[in-house]
């Protein structure tokens, strides 16, 4: 299948000769909206024609991460101002909370609507049922995270190559050690069981899901340089950095 450009946005004007960077984007599950973290803004587009629906200015510094809740009624953003903002689909600020360091990643649990926000020294868990954010200390910096398909497990990728597997309360259950920073994580989809005609008709969980850790394979000198850089800003975009993928079961 040949991809066809439906629409494009030239982006924000340059500031002091520097182009604004898009750090992350996420689609609503109905496919109607696209939320984008760009400069210190959160931009929301209509995916059908590319119209800019909302230009949100809640962050005082660079916005690094965005993510939709499963029903698409809300989305979250986090950035260098150490703040997580939860927005309504209409672009209204619903809730705000802070960490003591820049927000590296936010992600909604697509089974329970629980929100995780990750920084250099901790990660927070929040849901509508909680009165406050539950925070858990970590070391070293968290670069990536991913919820399992059933919402019961959370994988955290660290800059020293550690992959921490935790339950949905934040308790660490297992550790996988790698030697390079973990910039991206994804859980394998559930096993599909064929029916008697050989065609899949149901999804079953016959085995634990496998977590795929995408690892930046670079010489140690380059990796150390990247580690120094992320103390001030996020690591290079995963699509630019990845050259290998390791699969764990």
CA–CA gap between residue 178 and residue 46 (Å, rounded):
40
CA–CA gap between residue 44 and residue 69 (Å, rounded):
14
Query: CA 194 from chain center: how many Å?
Result: 32
pLDDT of residue 193: 52
Mean pLDDT score, 129-154: 94
159 in Cβ contact with 153 (< 8 Å):
no
CA–CA gap between residue 166 and residue 152 (Å, rounded):
9
- Judged on CB neighbours under 10 Å (0-12, 13-18, 19+), 176 is middle
User: Which of 2-16, 80-94, 231-245 has the highest mean predicted lDDT (pLDDT)?
Assistant: 80-94
Mean pLDDT score, 102-113: 96
pLDDT of residue 198: 53
- Residue of 77, 130, 121 whose CA lies nearest to 100: 121
Residue written as token pair 């494009």: 8
Out of 106-110, 153-157, 236-240, which region has the weakest mean confidence (pLDDT)? 236-240
Residue-wise pLDDT for 10-45, tens only, equals 888 887 777 889 999 999 999 999 999 999 999 999
Residue 236 has pLDDT above 70, yes or no: no
pLDDT of residue 227: 33
**What is this structure's pTM?**
0.77
Q: For CATH 2.130.10.10, list the domain ranges present in the chain.
A: 19-137
pLDDT of residue 192: 54
pLDDT of residue 233: 45
Say which CATH superfamily domain 19-137 falls into: YVTN repeat-like/Quinoprotein amine dehydrogenase (2.130.10.10)
Query: Between 103 and 246, whose confidence is greater?
Result: 103
Residue 199 has pLDDT above 90, yes or no: no
CA–CA gap between residue 155 and residue 107 (Å, rounded):
11
Structure tokens at 213: 């850790």
pLDDT of residue 196: 52
């Amino acid at each position: 299948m040949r991809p066809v450009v439906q629409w494009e946005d030239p982006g924000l004007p340059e500031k002091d000769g520097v182009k604004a960077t898009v750090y992350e984007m996420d689609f609503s599950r109905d496919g109607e909206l696209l939320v984008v973290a760009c400069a210190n803004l959160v931009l929301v587009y209509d995916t059908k024609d590319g119209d800019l629906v909302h230009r949100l200015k809640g962050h005082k510094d660079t916005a690094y991460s965005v993510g939709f809740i499963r029903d698409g009624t809300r989305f979250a953003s986090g950035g260098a101002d150490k703040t997580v903002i939860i927005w309504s689909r209409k672009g209204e600020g619903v809730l705000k909370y802070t960490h003591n360091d820049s927000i590296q990643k936010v992600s909604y649990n697509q089974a329970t609507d629980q929100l995780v926000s990750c920084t250099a020294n901790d990660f927070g868990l929040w849901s509508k049922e909680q009165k406050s954010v539950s925070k858990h200390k970590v070391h070293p910096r968290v670069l990536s995270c991913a919820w399992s398909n059933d919402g019961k497990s959370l994988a955290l990728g660290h800059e020293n190559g550690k992959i921490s597997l935790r339950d949905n309360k934040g308790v660490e259950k297992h550790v996988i050690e790698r030697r390079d920073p973990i910039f991206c994580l994804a859980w394998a989809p559930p096993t599909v069981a064929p029916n008697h005609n050989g065609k899949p008709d149901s999804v079953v969980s016959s085995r634990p899901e496998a977590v795929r850790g995408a690892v930046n394979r670079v010489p140690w000198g380059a990796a150390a340089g990247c580690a120094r850089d992320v103390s001030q800003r996020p690591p290079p975009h995963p699509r630019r950095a990845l050259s290998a993928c390791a699969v764990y079961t």
